[in-house]
Amino acid sequence: MTRLGKGLSALIKPEDSVENSHGNVSKIEISRIKPNEYQPRKIFDPEKLKDLAQSIKENGLIQPIIVSQIDNDNYELIAGERRLEASKIAGLTEIPVVVRDVSQREKLVFAIIENVQREDLTPLEEAVAYQQLIDEFDFTHADVSNIMGKDRATITNTLRLLKLPQSIKDMIDRKEITSGHARAILQVSEEFQEEFALSIIKNAMSVRKAEDAAAKYSKSKPAHTTKKSEIDQELIASLEKNLKNKFGKSVKIKTKSKEKGELVIPFKNKKELDELIKNLNLS
């Protein structure tokens, strides 16, 4: 299994902390550094960012950020987003960087590994990042498990958070409930999930109490579901991959409930539609 540390070292060699293939670490203007399109982190802790900015003001940016070169004038961030944002707050115009040539896949993997290693991602950001690996790079749950150094059940449980209604996702982001609470909420029928989430907050339930309450809550409601009736998300990912190979394009299977969903096969023009009809033997 590829552990977390090995995932990072596969992309950044130890010597990159002091030099790159072009020589020593160099300084470039912050304005020339573009965001990483695959950066999973969306929420920053303002107080922690402020503290880091103050440290950078007093001591400078000691550890260089990692970038890749887009063209002669611009670079794209690979790792070090917190340091970059804090440097902007600190008023720096130039920062030390190490330049690396990486693939699109490596950009995403590195961004996720760096953030997960530092425990900077929210549970939902982590889930979205894992789903991006699956959707864009055909990773399986096992692949994500290997590269992140986490067991497959943890990866699967994290991905299940994406099935929650937006209102409950917002509660997670506001830290009103934890990912453990969220997994308990998933045991409740969809129509009662928000109601149950509010009950967890109101009664300040621990995760253990929420799990116990979820089991009783489901039984007390007319439309309840059990884990047995849930659609296997890894099966869905496998089916999507097989369909992509068949049709030559990304195919989405969207689950609307524990047992229902829809199959979405996109096309851009009439030619693609004609090819799709042919592949489906409808013509």
In 3D space, the residue among 113, 112, 37 whose CA is nearest the CA of residue 68 turns out to be: 37
Q: Alpha-carbon dihedral of residues 278, 134, 233, 188, nearest 10 degrees?
A: -130
Q: How many CA atoms lie within 13 A of 162 on its CB side?
A: 15
Active-site entry in 37, 76, 81, 240 = 81
How far from 72 is each of 67, 101, 192, CA to CA, in Å? 13, 14, 55
Tokens describing residue 195: 């109601």
Q: How many CA atoms lie within 13 A of 72 on its CB side?
A: 0
Are the beta carbons of 203 and 184 closer than 8 angstroms?
A: no
User: Got the DSSP string for 161-187?
Assistant: GGGS-HHHHHHHHTTSS-HHHHHHHTT
Helix (H) or strand (E) holding 33: strand 33-34
Q: Is 81 a catalytic residue?
A: yes
Instruction: State the catalytic residues.
Output: 81
